[in-house]
Each structure stands twice: as C-alpha cells, then as structure tokens.
Structure 1
Amino acid sequence: MALAVSTAPATAQPTVAAAPSDCPHGYFCGYKRANFQGLGFRFKDCYMQEIPSGMGSGGSWYNNQTEGTMAVLYNKAKEPIFVTDGAPSQDAHGSWAPVWYVDAC
C-alpha cells in the first residue's frame, strides 16, 4: 500500500484479477496475508471503521464495491493515507502496519 493520498485524476486501471470467493460484491475486504489469504474483515458501510487488531505488517486487500467506488485508508490519528483506485481494484502485496481505519466508500 502506498502511503500517499491520491489526488491525481482517474486514469485507466490496470487489469484486476477476479474477486476472491470470500469477498462478495459490494465489499472492501482486508486480508492478513498476501494474495488474499486469511480474511481479516469485510466492510461495505460508508463510515470510518477500525480494522481488527492482528492484521500485521503484511497483507492484501480487494475492493469489490460498486464499480468506481474508492475506499480511504486512515492512520492512527484518523488522517487519510491512501485512496484506492475505483472498484474493482486490489493490492495483493500490501502492508496494514500504518492503517488503523477504513472508510469503504
């Protein structure tokens, strides 16, 4: 996961793999391990939610919300640190270390 808030205009998205079977349409899913292994949470509501403890410093995420919906990741001080690309989007090799909260949309 990059540690910068994206302010650039939307561009063509890279090819995204099919959603993991445990991440239904409409959800932003966080995984404890790389490559979408070890589901840690599924969020779909539009408000800042604390991620579960134990997510660790590795991990991955899949944004399977309504097409184009972006999720915002926040640090401990509730400051935005990353905005995902619009759904569907993913990061198979990220880090939950700086992330404390997620607003799924």
Structure 2
Amino acid sequence: MVSVIAAGSFALGVVVPAGTAFANDAEKLGLDAGQAAELQGRVDHYLAKVGGVQVAANEIRLPGAVLSLALPGSELAGTCGWGHMCSWAGQNYTSDKLDMAECKEYGMPFGSIGSWKNSQTTGTTVDFESRDHVTRWKSPGAYVDDPSADWSWVWYLSLC
C-alpha cells in the first residue's frame, strides 16, 4: 500500500514542508542543498502571491498559465510561443517567466523591472491593471514587446 501526502499537508502529526516532494528533482537538476533551498523559497513566495500548484522543482501551474523559475545561476530562454503572452522577472526576457495562454486576468507575480512579449494573435492587446483592477495601460496589438518594463505598479494582466 502506498500513501500519498501532499506537500505542505498534515498527516499523522507530521508536517511535510512544501517542496519536499521536489527535493529529488532539484538534485537531478544539479542543485546543491543551498541552491535547492533558494529555489524552493522563490517557489513558496510565488505560490503565496499568485497561487497555483507546484509541479516540478522550478515550475508552478496556474489556470491557463505556467510560471517557470530560472535555476540558481542560470537564465531561462527568452522565447514566447505564438498565441501566448509572456512576462519575465528580469529585463531583456531573463529570469523567472510567466507564460499565459488563455483570455483571462492573471495576477502579476513580479514587482520590479522586468520584460514582456505579447505573442498572441495579431492585433490582440493586453491590459496592464493596478491593484484596484483598473486598466492603467493597454498594449498595442500583438506582436509587441518591452525589454525593460516596470512591474511595480502592475498587479494584474488581462489578455484578449
């Protein structure tokens, strides 16, 4: 018989810390214990901020989106698939990446200077919204991008 305990759950008086299930993944990715802890700390921060489900050591699934975290000491590729809107925590399409694929509102996980690419269908815009869900800026129609975007005032992105 196999028992499955969800990360962060309580069973038989034992608390299983979030991310424990992904410790082997981190090791397979070549991370040492300190790097794995730093990565899991970032995952935990994003989970608290925008929700979702951790599905790998460096990946969170959200409804209609995937949040991929760059491994410590590396960068993610700055690509964004056709039909998607992607935002990055770093300038020039670097660092952690939120890849959004559905027409809906998404919470913004990043808060400093980052970047974005709108690769949705031709002419489709993105609303950049403040904390009160008010559109403060609307992007030009796709394809359009910004290698240096200020996320400090953006709380939500609404696609389509």
Aligned to 1:37: 94
* Corresponding residue pairs, total: 84
TM-score using structure 2 length: 0.50
Q: Which amino acid aligns with 1:64?
A: S
Cα 1:104–1:96 change in 2 (3 A) is same
Q: Which protein has the bigger helix share?
A: 2
Give the match's secondary structure for 1:94: strand
RMSD: 1.4
**Residue aligning to 2:128:** 73
One-letter amino acid of the counterpart of residue 125, structure 2: M
SS at match of 2:86: strand
What residue ranges of structure 2 are gaps of 5+ in the alignment?
1-76
CA pair 39-67 structure 1, distance change in 2 beyond 3 A: farther
Which has the higher relative contact order, 1 or 2, with Cα contacts under 8 A spaced 6 or more apart? 1
Distance 1:67 1:39, change over 3 A: farther
Distance 1:51 1:43 in 2: 11
Unaligned runs of 5+ in 1: 1-19
Q: After superposition, give the CA deviation of every residue in 1:66-105 in whole Å (9 maximum; x if it has no partner).
A: 0111111101110101111111001111111000111111
Query: Identical aligned pairs, as a percentage?
Result: 29
Q: Which runs of 4+ in 1 moved over 4 A?
A: none
| Partners of 1:95 and 1:56 in 2: CA distance | 8
